[in-house]
Chain A
Amino acid sequence: MTADLRSREQKAFGAFLLMLGAGLVLDEGPRLIGSTLFLFGLLLALWRGPLELRPSGRSSQPIAGGDADPVS
């Protein structure tokens, strides 16, 4: 994996943890776990700058449409 892909993976994983943590706090789940996940996710997502589009990173394969389902 290229550095660009790794960076995007880190940001996307950070966003996943951040939203999961926010959900646990705001849905009145385990708050300590939720706020820890939220802060850790925020750190991961913003570590190397904000989320941006980097079209050059997707060079190996073209994107074949967002909807993978033949029946939507």
Chain B
Amino acid sequence: MSEWLDLAVATGTIAFIGVAARNALRTPPTPALASTVGHSPLLGSQIRAWYLSYLQPFEERCLQWRLRPSDLSFAQLLVSVGVSVLFARGMLFTGGWLLLVTGSLDIIDGHLARRTDRASRRGAFLDSVIDRYADAFGFMGLAVYYRTSVFLWVTLVALVGSLLVSYTRARAEGLGQACKVGLLQRPERYVLLGFGCIFSVLVGRLCAPFMQIPHDLVLRGVLIFLAAVVNLTALQRAIYVWRRLGAEDESQ
């Protein structure tokens, strides 16, 4: 009985994600909208615009309830701790989904700060610190989950790379250099890791009647990819800033 329930829920979830993805890709946003949401190779402006259009009602609710941006930042921190615990207990689907929710909270708090004219350097600093903790909590939970496996090392390499991507940009900005280059920035990392966890469980459940595969197979692939590409991104940023600073030093 429980196998059938699992199969039905997994099939329904895949169908729902499929419909949502098809609709996100089907309707192009207006040029005005597309120009304001940003673009990256992994998350195009179309997907960003679609996703942000579904976050907007929650921004309105937060305004209505007079929530402060810092309230959402602390909520993000709290949910991240929950994500860490869920990952550590092997609840990959729920943890992956809540990881995507923490990413959404981070987007909403920034928008809320701008809309209520509360954007400040202090708020930006608090937001950055909480984001680093949120990044680390996700990987920490996975490290506990993989504590007896070789994937512990892959997770740790991904964690270090992930923190270094942010550090290189912060250090570059401290030296007066803008540094927004890089393949995998934070939204992409959230999406990859979150959906990696979700699809791991879905694929495992759907394949269960036909063959036995590890239920974290997709996640293993995503972690290897993340570990490689986040470190490449950190390296890419380091080289970019090195060259820019070198050129500036020579011109002086």
Q: Indicate if B220 sits at the interface (CB-CB under 8 A).
A: no
Contact (A66, B187) CB under 8 Å given A23-B94, A42-B12, A58-B53: yes
* Chain B, 42-65, CB within 8 A of any chain A CB: 43, 46, 48-58, 60-61, 64
User: Is the beta-carbon distance between A38 and B12 smaller than 8 angstroms?
Assistant: yes
Out of B6, B20, B24, B64, name the residue touching A25 (CB < 8 Å): B6
The 8 A CB mask of A1-44 against B (1 = contact, 0 = none) is 10001101101100110111111111101010011001000100
User: Is the beta-carbon distance between A68 and B110 smaller than 8 angstroms?
Assistant: yes
User: Is the beta-carbon distance between B9 and A63 smaller than 8 angstroms?
Assistant: no
User: Is the beta-carbon distance between B186 and A72 smaller than 8 angstroms?
Assistant: yes
User: Is the beta-carbon distance between A64 and B106 smaller than 8 angstroms?
Assistant: no
Q: Indicate if B114 sits at the interface (CB-CB under 8 A).
A: yes
Majority secondary structure of chain B interface residues (helix, strand, loop or mixed): helix
* Chain B, 102-133, CB within 8 A of any chain A CB: 106-111, 113-115, 124, 127-128, 131
* Chain B, 152-185, CB within 8 A of any chain A CB: 165-166, 169-170, 173, 185
- How far is it, in angstroms, between the C-alpha of A27 and the C-alpha of B216 when the chains are bound? 12
- How far is it, in angstroms, between the C-alpha of A71 and the C-alpha of B24 when the chains are bound? 27
User: Is the beta-carbon distance between B131 and A69 smaller than 8 angstroms?
Assistant: yes
Q: Inside 8 A of B32's CB, which chain A residues have their CB?
A: 62
Q: Indicate if B37 sits at the interface (CB-CB under 8 A).
A: yes
Contact (A31, B107) CB under 8 Å given A15-B20, A67-B186: no
User: Is the beta-carbon distance between A52 and B27 smaller than 8 angstroms?
Assistant: yes
User: Is the beta-carbon distance between B127 and A65 smaller than 8 angstroms?
Assistant: no
- How far is it, in angstroms, between the C-alpha of A19 and the C-alpha of B24 when the chains are bound? 18
Interface Cβ pair total, 8 Å cutoff: 165
Out of B10, B23, B53, B170, name the residue touching A57 (CB < 8 Å): B53
- Taking residues whose C-beta sits less than 8 angstroms from the other chain, chain B's interface range is 35 or more
- How far is it, in angstroms, between the C-alpha of A62 and the C-alpha of B131 when the chains are bound? 24
User: Is the beta-carbon distance between A8 and B53 smaller than 8 angstroms?
Assistant: yes
Q: Inside 8 A of A16's CB, which chain B residues have their CB?
A: 101
Out of B33, B94, B205, name the residue touching A20 (CB < 8 Å): B94
User: Is the beta-carbon distance between B169 and A54 smaller than 8 angstroms?
Assistant: no
Contact (A66, B37) CB under 8 Å given A31-B2, A71-B166: yes
Q: Inside 8 A of A18's CB, which chain B residues have their CB?
A: 13, 16
Q: Inside 8 A of A15's CB, which chain B residues have their CB?
A: 16, 20, 54
Q: List the 7 closest A-B pairs by CB distance, nearest first.
A: A68-B110, A23-B94, A9-B57, A72-B186, A27-B91, A23-B93, A12-B54
- Beyond the given A19-B97, A63-B37, A71-B166, please list 8 additional residue pairs across the A-B interface where CB-CB is below 8 A: A9-B58, A23-B97, A27-B201, A34-B9, A53-B49, A64-B110, A70-B173, A71-B170
